[in-house]
Amino acid sequence: EDKVVQSPLSLVVHEGDTVTLNCSYEVTNFRSLLWYKQEKKAPTFLFMLTSSGIEKKSGRLSSILDKKELFSILNITATQTGDSAVYLCAVTNSGTYKYIFGTGTRLKVLA
Amino acid sequence: DVKVTQSSRYLVKRTGEKVFLECVQDMDHENMFWYRQDPGLGLRLIYFSYDVKMKEKGDIPEGYSVSREKKERFSLILESASTNQTSMYLCASTMGAATYEQYFGPGTRLTVT
């Protein structure tokens, strides 16, 4: 059965800290891994990774995929209170239209 | 900008009522999805549709049905609402077969009393 596990479940940090969120997966015929940020509304897309070892970066956020060890990390440097959200990881496989989501990591950044 | 809209942000219904949740996207996406999101369980797929009038069951289709008569609109129907269907319902759309990111609507928080 395809599965996505995120850790930690929740995290509290102070502004300026750096955080690393983890996503491990088991999926047949892996196609891609996606990261989303969800505040009190719709999840918004952050990154899609398909190739191992290539870092995707957007401002203070970056992510990398390790297809051999079946995991991805999302790094946020110099955190701000606006980074407080649930971060979701999802994977897709080549055989279906489905996106398999993890349960998310809830990040709270204190001023 | 891709826009996915849902008919209601908050909805309160009684047990046994028939409930319609509507989702509209404006980017001509082929694929549309309905999820429910519950604490500790993440997003679980109820149904998805890869074309007009085409649908496939997701992981938790029991108690739900869907309708896609037009490409831009995907409706989720609770035939007879029950309290265990109290949840946040999220609609999403994407082009292609799971090769692109999904765009989500704002969600409908449904309470069944």
Using the Cβ of B26 and the Cβ atoms of chain A, whether some distance falls under 8 Å is answered with no
CB–CB contact B102 A32 (8 Å): no
Chain A and chain B share a number of CB contacts under 8 A equal to 55
CB–CB contact B106 A97 (8 Å): no
pLDDT in tens, A88-104: 999 998 877 889 999 99
Using the Cβ of B105 and the Cβ atoms of chain A, whether some distance falls under 8 Å is answered with yes
Using alpha carbons, list the distances in angstroms from residue A12 to A6, A55, A63, A81. 16, 25, 20, 11
The residue type at B87? S
Q: Which of A71-75, B14-18, B49-53 bottoms out in mean pLDDT, i.e. has the lowest?
A: B49-53
CB–CB contact A97 B31 (8 Å): yes
Using alpha carbons only, what angle is made at residue B67 by residues B63 and B69, rounded to the nearest 5 degrees? 175
Rg (alpha carbons) of chain A, rounded to whole number? 14
pLDDT in tens, B54-106: 999 999 999 999 999 999 999 999 999 999 999 999 999 998 766 788 999 99
Any residues with CB less than 8 A from the CB of B58 and at least 6 apart, and which? A98, B33, B34, B35, B44, B45, B46, B47, B48
What is the rounded distance in angstroms from the CA atom of residue A40 to the CA atom of residue B20? 23
Residue of A nearest to B91 (CA): A42
* Phi, psi torsion values for B84, nearest 5 degrees: -75, 0
Using the Cβ of B56 and the Cβ atoms of chain A, whether some distance falls under 8 Å is answered with yes
